[in-house]
Chains A and B, each alone.
Chain A
Amino acid sequence: MSPILSVKDATKRYSTPEGGTITALDGVSLDVQPNEFVTLLGPSGCGKTTLLRTISGFEDLEGGSIEIDGATVTHLPAHRRPVNTVFQRYALFPHLSIARNVAYSLEVAGLKRAEIGSRVGEMLELVGLDGFGDRKINQLSGGQQQRVALARSLVARPKILLLDEPLSALDKNLRQKMQQELKTLQEEVGIAFVFVTHDQEEALTMSDRVAVLSDGKIQQFGTPEDLYRRPRNEFVARFLGAGNLLGATVSECKDAGAIALLESGQVAHLPSTDAACGEKIKLLIRPEDVRMDCTKDAGALRFEGTVRQVLFVGTDYIVHIETDDGTELKATLRPRAEDRGAITAPGARITLFVQQEALHPVTSAKVA
């Protein structure tokens, strides 16, 4: 399957008022398949919005190229690209009615009135706003405005829909509802969505694939589970979800795996690693992989320590432990009823286990 969007080696610099330059995009390459929901994720200033704006045509690339559906659009102005954008604050036209907002792209394209009418009607129905066509923008709630923005961007049947943090202005409940709606909508219209967000949970929930950006580079591009379970480097590991990163040194490399020596002296068997022998690495342990009960796995890591802090979050307890050798460990535990008393008090002694399969080695180096 050939990609609907193909960004190759995209580079973009800004000059700062002080005379310096900021590299917003540093050789970014990205392929998006038709019908794929891809999220660009990263902290603010990582280049994700710039990347989106170069795809939509609001920013020019300094180097590299962009292809949409096999056609190069690198130097095409925004209005001639077969993509549409949903803006962070929607950018709905305040002087036009809802129907006229939705009809805008069809009107400027010079379509016949009857066709515009029927397509706008379909679109409003799709986003659940049929009957709202004559209303003014300011008569709508935030969620409704969001839907108008979606309808307006989809009515021209773009090949890709770009979404620039469209949910950030909504409160938490509405945001979760809209996340589902967006996902459903994407499946219904069957086109590629490229979605920008700094909210990792949002990215993981909605996306087929996520590109994590930092310093103008893609640190990792993969499925949410890939990113969560097998982050390529420390940055990705830290950015997506909570985790414990324990320092270790690769001591032995074999074809089938490697052996790493933890700072605490424990030995860990790793399934595989890119790291060279003798390299210092980090071992990622997700809090939910820390267990209270001993397993059959003989190679499981064992930590003995003292409970420092306990947060009760409903089903689970988030427990911070200081092990006897001074390592801090965070664990999401769901203790059996009889064990609860043992862990819920700070100062209690506790023994925890981590299976070897739950260990994931990451390098500290970022993609450069």
Chain B
Amino acid sequence: MVGRDTSQGRKMLSLLGLLAPPTVFLGVFFITPLAIMVIYSFLEPGLYGGVVWNFYDLNYGRILGWADTRYEKFDPVYLTIFLRSVRLALTTVLLSLVICYPAAFWISRMPQGRKNFFLFLITLPFFVSLVVRLFAWVLILRPTGFLNQALMEIGMIAEPLNLIFTDTAVVIGMTYVFIPFMFLPLYASIEKLDMSLVEASADLGATRLQTFRRIILPVTLPGIVGGSIIVFIPSLGNFIVPSVLGGAKVMMIGNLIEQQFLSARNWPFGSALGMMVMAAVLLLLMIYVRMMTREEEYSTAAKVKES
């Protein structure tokens, strides 16, 4: 039928019009840099930065094991750094989750006005430069800093705690930086949580702990997983926090990559390391998407069909 074809054609056209701008945007600002990175990771490093256009697999060889020349040697240290970054990022995720989960519960049960005020407070740190905030943490964590002075004043410790320039400081810093990223998705799913589910569970004989484990946790799981991923990814690649609060003694994969692009003048190796991080993140996202498609099936279930 002609009429139907034209209306379908018009629909296609408007869909195309709607999708074209984001597609072009993503193409230019996401795919292109990514493509450059993929290509660079297989090229020879230029002497003073940049690349020489020869195929070169030793960038990956250095990470994964087959490089063995004077300049390009396999070293398990890169994987060690990667694994350490994963460990620190996971600790950050866990810590921010432990802080944000009860906070999100608490705030979501407030009256509307106060709720908005607290949500505003959560996003407040974004108004100040990250570097400035991190240097403020140096002042807090150093031996003569606020935290140690306060703890000594109230007699909890006799000697200043050795916090600054340790893994602990890095985790504290990253947790601080990424708390809003954890909080917002968690809050979104916790606020949606129907309190009558909690009552129903208690009504059916479940203790508070059972209710939490069997109802609250699984129902808010999408927020937990979403927040964890949003925190994990930038934590994994972070280099500012380890260099300021870790005193650059705690090297994370982000620092290694930064070093390759600047002082080491080895862009291809930096790209190869970047690809490794990205592969890990992609893997994670794929698992997440698979989980979410399963979640999707019952995400609307709580709503009662009216007919």
Contact = CB atoms under 8 A, between A and B. Distances in A.
Given A107-B214, A145-B304, 14 more contacts: A79-B206, A87-B196, A87-B199, A88-B196, A89-B194, A92-B301, A94-B302, A104-B214, A105-B205, A108-B206, A136-B298, A138-B301, A156-B205, A169-B306
Interface string B288-307: 00000000011111111111
Interface residues of B, number: 30
Contacts of A84: 203-204
Nearest to B199: A58
A77 B199 CA distance: 11
A141 interface: yes
A89 B304 contact: yes
Interface of B: 111, 194, 196-197, 199-207, 210, 214-215, 218-219, 221, 297-307
A169 B304 contact: yes
A344 B200 CA distance: 53
Contacts of B205: 79-80, 105, 108-109, 156
Nearest to A94: B301
16 contacts: A57-B203, A58-B199, A78-B199, A79-B204, A89-B196, A92-B301, A95-B221, A95-B298, A104-B206, A105-B206, A108-B204, A108-B207, A108-B210, A108-B214, A137-B298, A152-B204
Contacts of A152: 204
B298 A171 contact: no
Contacts of A105: 204-206
Nearest to A145: B304
Given A79-B207, A109-B205, A91 B199 contact: yes
Interface string A139-151: 0111001000000
Contact of B301 (A17, A83, A136): A136
A142 B306 contact: yes
Contacts of A169: 304, 306
Interface residues of A, number: 37
Contacts of A141: 305, 307
Contact of B194 (A79, A91, A107, A171): A91
A85 interface: yes
A80 B206 CA distance: 9
Contacts of A137: 298, 301-302
B203 A142 contact: no
Contacts of B197: 91, 93-94
B300 A138 contact: yes
Minimum-distance CB pairs A-B, first 8: A138-B301, A94-B301, A105-B204, A91-B196, A91-B200, A137-B301, A78-B202, A108-B206
